[in-house]
Chain A
Amino acid sequence: MTDPAIATEAPLHAEFLREPWDGLGLPQEEALSYQRFGATFGIWIFIASEVLFFGALFLFYAAVRAEHAEAFATAARETNIVYGTLNTAILLTSGLSAAAASLASEHVPLRRLTQWCLVATATLGLAFLAVKGMEYRDDIAEHLVPGRGFKLPEPSAQLFFGFYWLSTGIHGVHLTVGIGLVARLIWIGWRHPERLPGNPQVEVTMLYWGFVDMVWLFLYPALYLVGRPG
């Protein structure tokens, strides 16, 4: 843990320094920036792992769609493109506020901006989930849940909706985790305002947020634009 003697000298940053980065024999500023580099490096490796996770999901989609191109086009026309497009806009906007929060957090005078950008990010994330919930309600009403009484006659159309429910569900779980992480930062910034500027967790969280946004950019055309040319 951090040496309390050092902590009194620079109360703003010293508490961010963690084991084992405090034992590298570096001056404190350098140790902090090295630790920050380490944290972002770590989250990038995790994102590489997540790419393979969603990569497998999209492989499943590609393989099944290649086998049932017609049924996929028919089924995809049943998705609600209004809600889907609205959600794309919401999530891309949240990406903007997330990036702004990440950059603003590096500057002490921009603490309030950081906090507001975090609040905007979490709110937009929640809005996405709310729109998704309304879309789910309509989907259920239209009998788009695979199983008995499914709307479309082709059996393989159910495969498309199997993917639809699964992929949007997994993406929703990722987004919920992201909202939780952002909410944690908001709580830190509210209770301990001095701990927000320079906190490496802001950038780390926002990299994850950006990744979850990116997944949606692939899901959107795969789910909503197939079978809707021109």
Chain B
Amino acid sequence: MSTRVAESPASLADPDELALGLPESYLSAGGTLGSWLTSTDHKRIAILYALSVTLFFFIGGAAATLVRLELFTPQADLVGADTYNKLFTLHGVIMVWFFLIPSIPTTFGNFLLPLMIGARDLAFPKLNLASWYLNVIGGLITATAVLAGGIDTGWTFYVPYSTTFSNTAVTIGVLGVFVSGFSTIATGVNFIATTHLLRAPGMTWFRLPLFVWAMYTTSIIFVLATPVLALTIILVVAERSLGLPIFDPAKGGDPILFQHLFWFYSHPAVYIMLLPGMGIVSEVITCFARRRIFGYDFMVYALVAIAVIGFFTWGHHMFTSGMSPYAALIFSFLSFVVAVPSAIKVFNWTATLYRGQVGFESPMLYVLGYIGLFTVGGLTGLFLASIPIDVHVQDTYFVVAHFHYIMVGATVSAYFAGLHFWWPKFTGRMYPETWAKFAAVLMFFGFNLTFFPQFIAGYLGMPRRYHVYPPEFQVWNVLSSSGAAVLAAAYLMPLGYLTWSLFFGARAVNDPWNASGLEWRTTSPPPRVNFFGRPAVLAKPYNYHPEGAAPLHDEPRIPSQGSLT
């Protein structure tokens, strides 16, 4: 298999340019709208998902922008209390269920999982297409709830407010989430079956790239956690719309039971958002440090451990909701335990850099930002896992800042890292590297400016979900809202230059970063059947240097051809 790809004409993807007899790429196999909407090609479905996920990201972002604008001053000047409640609910619901949870698995996972294991497609291609329709239908149903007046319960839909008291479109909103849940279950079933059954010859479990392991462990959470949310939603709808007594305390029902059921899904859901990003980081950091991953086996065990232990920590969301001290102690302990594999991953990524030939191309900048933000988010998670501190900062901006560091700082950075890293493979085009580097740095600074002040405001006692606040918190909110403006610019920039690159970017070669993964051993963009012939795998992943010997320091680093543009 070819590794060092120069400016070889054979690596060009478009058969119209050079008649080399290469199969046409997945992009040029039919250009009509119908050919896209009925395609069972995992790569085309990934593009469909990328479009819908991007749309939802900017809807959720628009709601966040309005929230931050309102919080610029202590008074209510832009929106009233009701509208504010509906805005942060819209932001949370859209971002959690229609961006963060599907984003990386359904775009990068769909596109790359078969390529990385040397398969032609996912195990059940029609199910894959159906999952996209379910996702979009779910999103449209939830969007209908916004048109029907919005939802004011917050993304957590806590009862009895959501079942008995709220006068807003809760039922429609949660039904949209319910439908989209089927989409993620379908994706999970597909990924698990594909990873088990369709690996290329020689691709053993411990030769899988860590991104595949991340998809596999995420899929297990998809399959085992999402149904619990589905049932919880049915319970809410049954009480709210059918009038059956479920959680109503007047009939002896138990509202805390709702919280247990909800967080049994929603805490593992945090790992649905986190694990895929960890997979991307492992792919990118090895490539741009020209280094094998440090401690491959333990990176795998850490992913599995996070997925498993993540199922048993849900109670830490409920320390102040009424729970026995004994149960709180157990949940606190388990929350500390889940930090161990997370820390192993951070240490191993850092150790991967050691004696590597580190470059600072844009995907690597995003990844280095990821490691910093994930570390801050993870460590503040330990603060919250210890009961006394949690009781002090519960329902304050400290919690808001913590989970944004994990879910936005870490995961969205990883999303953009992956987007830049695999953009040449997805589209066959190179993007302008200088702009990308600028956006990566801007995103890091904008993010910290937005969310670090929230740690301080929260620690000083500013509660979440209020649109007016005492004037002494204004300085932190002004900092945060200014940061949000920077962050918005950093999110909009890739939309501009990546779209530009689709039309004017330089042609990408097969392997512009000299990466080691199987997904680079085909044309950019790949043909419908992914590979020419049937790939076989002969070695462990991240084969950037001979095993047991680091690259020599005076050895010149193989230049990444992506930097040339």
Contacts and interface: CB of A to CB of B under 8 A. Distances in A.
Interface of A: 18-20, 23-25, 34, 37-38, 41-42, 45-46, 48-50, 52-57, 59-60, 63-64, 67-68, 71, 146-147, 155-156, 158-159, 161-162, 165-166, 170
A64 B251 CA distance: 11
A46 B123 CA distance: 14
Given A42-B193, A45-B189, A46-B185, A166 B225 contact: no
Contacts of B185: 46, 49
Interface in B224-281: 224-228, 230-232, 234-235, 238-239, 242-246, 250-254, 257, 261, 264
A57 B193 contact: no
Instruction: Give the secondary structure class of A's interface.
Output: helix
Contacts, number: 115
A53 B40 CA distance: 28
A23 B533 CA distance: 10
B120 interface: yes
Instruction: Give the secondary structure class of B's interface.
Output: helix
Nearest to B228: A56
A67 B254 contact: yes
Given A63-B257, A155-B250, A166-B246, 13 more contacts: A18-B125, A19-B40, A45-B189, A45-B192, A49-B223, A49-B224, A49-B226, A52-B225, A56-B264, A59-B261, A155-B245, A158-B251, A159-B252
Contacts of B114: 20
B553 interface: no
A50 B227 contact: yes
A147 B223 CA distance: 35
Given A25-B534, A45-B189, A49-B226, A162 B254 contact: no
B189 to A, nearest CB: 5
Interface of B: 40, 114, 119-125, 185, 188-190, 192-193, 196-198, 223-228, 230-232, 234-235, 238-239, 242-246, 250-254, 257, 261, 264, 529, 534
Query: Which of A24, A71, A159 has its CB near the most chain B CB atoms (within 10 A)?
Result: A159
Contacts of A54: 231
A68 B257 CA distance: 14
Contact of A45 (B193, B198, B242, B257): B193
Contact of B235 (A52, A60, A155, A156): A60
B227 A56 contact: yes
Given A19-B120, A155-B251, A55 B198 contact: no
Contacts of B251: 146, 155-156, 158-159, 162
B227 A166 contact: no
